[in-house]
Amino acid sequence: MPVSKARQIAFDILLRVESQGAYASDLLHAELNAKIKSEDAALATELTMGVLRQKRLLDFLLDTYSRKRSATLDVEVAIALRLGLYQLRFLDRIPARAAVNESVELVKSARKRSATTLVNAVLRRAAENSQTPVASLIPGDLPQAEHLEILYSHPAWLIERWLKEFGEWRAIVLLEANNRAPETAGAFAFPQEREADIKTLELEGIRIAPGRWLRDAFHAAGGNISSSSVFRSGHMSVQDEASQIVPRLLNVDAGDSVLDVCAAPGGKTVTLARAAGPDALVVATDIHEHRLRDMRAQLERVNLKDVRLAGIDAARPLPFRQKFKRILVDAPCSGTGTLARNPEIRWRLKLDDLAEFHTRQVAMLGSALAQLEEGGRLVYSTCSLEFEENEAVVGKVLAKARGYRRVPRAEMEAAIAPHLAAAANAASLFDVTGAFRTFPPEQHTDGFFAVAIEKRA
C-alpha cells in the first residue's frame, strides 16, 4: 500500500527538521510547487506544522500508550507515530484506519520494518482513546509549568518565564495562539493594480481579505500563494503585518541613504528601497552569502535591482566610510514572537541562548549607531518577546552612547499613520514605554518589538 503524497512530504520534512536542523516553512515552500495538488499541499502543511507545534503532547501520548519511551525510539519511528497520533487526536475528517495504516507504511518505507508491530499497536490503542481529554491523562501533582508544558506543548522553562512576565491568563492565551496556524499576510506593491491582482488570485483559488493594520496589506487563504502568477510577477509579497510595520517606523523619504543590517530574507528591504526611490543609496547586509543570494532573487522578483548587497558580520565595526540617514537593525534573535509560524524554534531554544543573543545584539546595535549621520534615525527591532533581547539591549547601548535619544511614541505613531488601515488603532501597537510591541493573541500578528533612536544634530 503506497503512502499518500501529503503524508510522505510531511514525514520527509519532519525528518529533515529533526535530523538536519532545517526549518519546516522553508522546506514546505520548496516542496509545495505547482505540481502538488492543493489538497495534498494543505494536508502536508497541516501535518508538518501540527506535529511540530504539538510535539511534546504527542510524545506524552506516545509514552502513555507504549511501553517504549519516545526518547528511545529511532527518529523515523517517532515521527511516524507523531504523525499518526496527530491525525487521531486533531484531524476529525481522517479515518482512524487511514491514520494507523499509513503510519505503518511510513516506517516500512523508512526501512524500519521491525517497528511496524509497535506502531500499529500504539496507534490502535490511541485510536480507542482518542476522545479521552488530554488533561485527564496528565498527573495531577505536576508543577504548573510542567502541566502546561504537556497541555500546550511548549518547554517548561519558557512557560515559567512567561507566567512571571505576562501573568497566567496572558501566558496561556499566548500558548494557545502559538498552537494555531497563523494567518498568511502580505502586501500589494501597486495599489492601482490591487483589484485586478485580487481577481487573478481568486481565479487561482486564493481568497483575499483586507489586512487588519495596514491599508496595502492583505490576508490570504486557500491555494499556494507563492506559486501564484501575481506573486511571481512581483506585484505582491508575503510578510506578517507587524513585520511590514517595522520599516515604516524609520519614516524614509525619497533620496534618503538607507542601511539595512541583517537584512535577509529582504521583506523589510523592499519597503525601505521603495520608499527611498531608485536614485537613493540603499545597502543591505547579511553575514550569510547563501541568504544574500536568495535575497537578490527576491529583489529581482519585485524589480528592485539597485539595492547594494554586502556580506558583513554586523556584530563587528561596519566597514562603511559613509554615514546613513536611516538604519534598520532587525537583529537575529530567539524568535519567540514567531512560534506559531516557526514551531521548531521552541524545541531548539535554550535559556542560555538568550544571553548569547543579547551579547551579539548589543554589538550590532552599537556598530550600527556608529554609522548614523547627525539628525538620522535608527530602528532596532526583533521578533522576540524576551526582555534580554529588547529593552535590555537598547538600555545597555544607550547608557554608554552620547548624543542619541529615544524617539517618542508620538513621532513613531506619526511615521506609520499614513500607512494604517482606516479602522486600525495605532495606540494599541505601542506599550507604556513608547516601544512598538505586538503580542500574537492580541494584535493577531507575530510578536515584534521595535524602538527608534535618533542622533542629535
Which CATH number do you get for residue 71? 1.10.940.10
pLDDT at 79 over 70: yes
pLDDT of residue 235: 93
Res 70: pLDDT = 87
> pLDDT > 90: what percent of the chain?
92
Q: Give CA angle at 441 (328, 359), nearest 5°.
A: 40
- Using the predicted structure, report yes or no on whether residue 292 has a pLDDT greater than 90: yes
Q: For residue 457, what pLDDT is reported?
A: 74
The pLDDT tens digits of the residues spanning 351-367 come to 999 999 999 999 999 99
Please check whether residue 230 is in contact with residue 201, taking contact to mean a CB–CB distance below 8 angstroms: yes
In a shared domain, residues 222 and 291? no
| Per-residue model confidence (pLDDT) at position 133 | 93
Looking at 216, 238, 260, which one is the last position of a domain?
Answer: 238
Considering the domain architecture, whether residues 147 and 129 belong to the same structural domain is answered as: no
Residues 262 and 410 in one domain: yes
Q: What is the pTM of this model?
A: 0.95
Residue 74: pLDDT band by 50, 70, 90 thresholds? very high
Contact predicate 271/248, CB 8 Å = yes
CA angle in degrees (0–180, nearest 5) for 33-35-41: 60
pLDDT single digits (tens) 303-333: 998 999 999 999 999 999 999 999 999 999 9
Domain of 328, CATH number, reads 3.40.50.150
* Average pLDDT of the residues in 405-434: 95
The answer to whether the beta carbons of residues 17 and 26 sit under 8 Å apart is no
Residues 387 and 419 in one domain: yes
pLDDT at 112 over 80: yes
Query: 434 and 367, same structural domain?
Result: yes
Catalytic residues: 383
**pLDDT at residue 223 greater than cutoff 90:** no
Residues 193 and 228 in one domain: yes
- The domain of 323 spans 241-455
- The mean pLDDT value for 57-69 works out to 94
For 253-286, how does the pLDDT look when each residue is reduced to its tens digit (9 = 90+)? Answer: 999 999 999 999 999 999 999 999 999 999 999 9
CB 311 within 8 A of CB 294: no
Q: What's the pLDDT score for residue 1? A: 65
Does residue 205 share a domain with residue 125? no
Largest Cα–Cα distance of the chain, in whole Å?
74
Same domain, 191 and 279: no
pLDDT at 264: 93
Please give the helix or strand (H or E) that residue 134 lies within, else none.
helix 134-137
What pLDDT is stored for residue 35 in this prediction? 80
Q: What is the CATH number of the domain that holds 198?
A: 3.30.70.1170
Q: Are residues 319 and 418 in the same domain?
A: yes
| Ramachandran area for residue 375 (φ above 0: left; ψ -120 to 50: alpha; else beta) | left
Mean pLDDT of 5-28: 95
pLDDT of residue 238: 94
The mean pLDDT value for 41-51 works out to: 96
Do residues 145 and 126 share a domain? Answer: no
Pair (294, 335) in one structural domain: yes
Mean pLDDT of all residues in 96-110: 95
Q: How many domains does the chain have?
A: 4
Q: Report the percent of the chain where pLDDT is more than 70.
A: 100
**Which residues have a Cβ under 8 Å from the Cβ of 282 and sit 6 or more positions away?**
257, 258, 260, 269, 272, 273, 276, 306, 307, 308
What is the per-residue pLDDT for 388?
A: 98
DSSP state of 430: B
Does residue 266 sit in the same domain as residue 193? no
pLDDT at 226: 83
Q: Report the C-alpha gap between 317 and 329 in whole angstroms.
A: 14
Task: State how far the Cα of 300 lies from the Cα of 296, in Å rounded to an integer.
Answer: 6
> Is the predicted pLDDT of residue 37 greater than 80, yes or no?
yes
Residue 68: pLDDT above 90? Answer: no
